[in-house]
Structure 1
């Protein structure tokens, strides 16, 4: 099974959350089954790609029937985490960090920020949302007890690598990096880079391209 996971294309893995969100919505509406055509129209992904994506995980559906929504939902949940609630940490309680703590994935009950860390005295000890901010010096001690799945990094850029090093030393295996700095981590640590500046520039390029071709 581990070899199969390693052979799954990155593009497929990036689409899995989209499938999961749609299947969850269908389940909440009481819909029992769905086919690749319906998924394709809802997500604007061609049916062949959907069937190919699903094929990496074995027989998820049946020809002529489609996919059982409840079975798909349980499958995607198992691929995200073996636990019902995914515990998340946050390092860097600036404006973005505070916004994430206040929002705290409220539309995703299975994901919750449970720990936050900062180096500033004026922030340490504050309660933001339901989370009390810890001193960064206590990171390793807290993480040993917290059993987190992933940590969100929202520090200033110059502090990103040092914070990442501390997370690696605390055996964190997943980091979502909101800083503009590319961090270096061992091969067994997964990093997802979220650069808001790059995303905004990409949007502007797409807008200008559409305008020039219209």
Structure 2
């Protein structure tokens, strides 16, 4: 892989390419062109070629891309060849819905534990996932070698919980709360604000503008 920095917009498109390559591979297709990929994933072919160029020569001029080789390359790039254990923090309405999601687009993501303060939920198995008390969080994160946490706690509690997660060794947080949390520079935070996304969609709907699927 080239040493230059991969743009964030490119990184966001990699799972999209990988998912479609898996579909092609399962269908027995041997090769694919950037034009075919473009039509399938709704990203223009020039952008696809530029995205791929950050990783070196992935295809051959006049041939296109070998589906299996490219799929395996992105599997390794996205760490989809290694199991990543994830914890869900907060088993309320949103948290419960996320537990039902089986992350079928990846073979390597497993929600292995959930944590909550509600005594009616703690100690139960919810959609196949054990729910532990918050007091057990640090211990279970270490035992289960959990690297990533999904945060769905009330906004006013979010920063305190983040501090506990950092102390427990968590290296990545997917934040579904509206609060803007902070963490040390070696902990990655991805914010998912559903209300903000919906309001942005409504804005573009009524302004007559078209929002790009993935911003550059």
User: How far 1:107 sits from its partner (Å)?
Assistant: 5.1
Q: For each residue in 1:85-144, what CA deviation from the matched residue of structure 2 results, as whole angstroms up to 9, or x when unmatched?
A: 332110001011111112232454432211111122222111101111011111111011
- Map 1:126-205 onto structure 2 (within 5 A): 126-205=124-203
Cα separation, partners in 2 of 1:149 and 1:20, compared to 1, 3 Å: farther
Matched, 1:113 2:85: no
1:1-40 equivalent positions in 2, closer than 5 A: 4=3, 7-40=5-38
How many residues are matched?
A: 210
- Indicate the SS of the match to 1:75: helix
Contiguous gaps of at least 5 residues in structure 2: 211-216
The normalised TM-score by structure 1 is 0.91
Q: Per the alignment, do residues 82 and 29 of structure 1 end up closer, same or farther by CA in structure 2, a change over 3 Å counting?
A: closer
Give 2:213's aligned residue: none
Cα distance in structure 2, aligned partners of 1:149 and 1:69 = 30
Q: 1:161-204 CA distances to partner (integer Å, 9 max, x unpaired)?
A: 11111111111111100000110011111111100001111111
Instruction: Please list every run of at least 4 consecutive aligned residues from structure 1 whose deviation after the TM superposition is greater than 4 angstroms.
Output: none
Contact 2:80 2:106 in 1 (8 A): no
Relative contact order, higher structure (CA 8 A, sep 6+): 2
**SS of match in other structure, 1:160:** helix
CA-atom RMSD, angstroms?
A: 1.9
Alpha-carbon offset, residue 211 of structure 1: 8.5
Matches within 5 A, 1:79-118: 79-81=77-79, 83-106=81-104, 108-118=106-116
In structure 2, the CA distance between the partners of 1:51 and 1:110, relative to structure 1 (3 Å rule), is same
CA–CA separation in structure 2 for the residues paired with 1:14 and 1:198: 19
Distance change >3 Å, CA 134–CA 158, structure 1 → 2: same
- Which blocks of at least 5 consecutive residues in structure 1 are unaligned? none
SS where residue 96 of structure 1 aligns? helix
Return the alpha-carbon distance in structure 2 between the equivalents of residues 47 and 36 of structure 1.
Answer: 5
Q: Distance in 1 between matches of 2:9 and 2:105?
A: 25
Secondary structure of the structure 1 residue equivalent to 2:146: coil
Structure 2 length-normalised TM: 0.90
How big is the shift at 1:84?
3.5
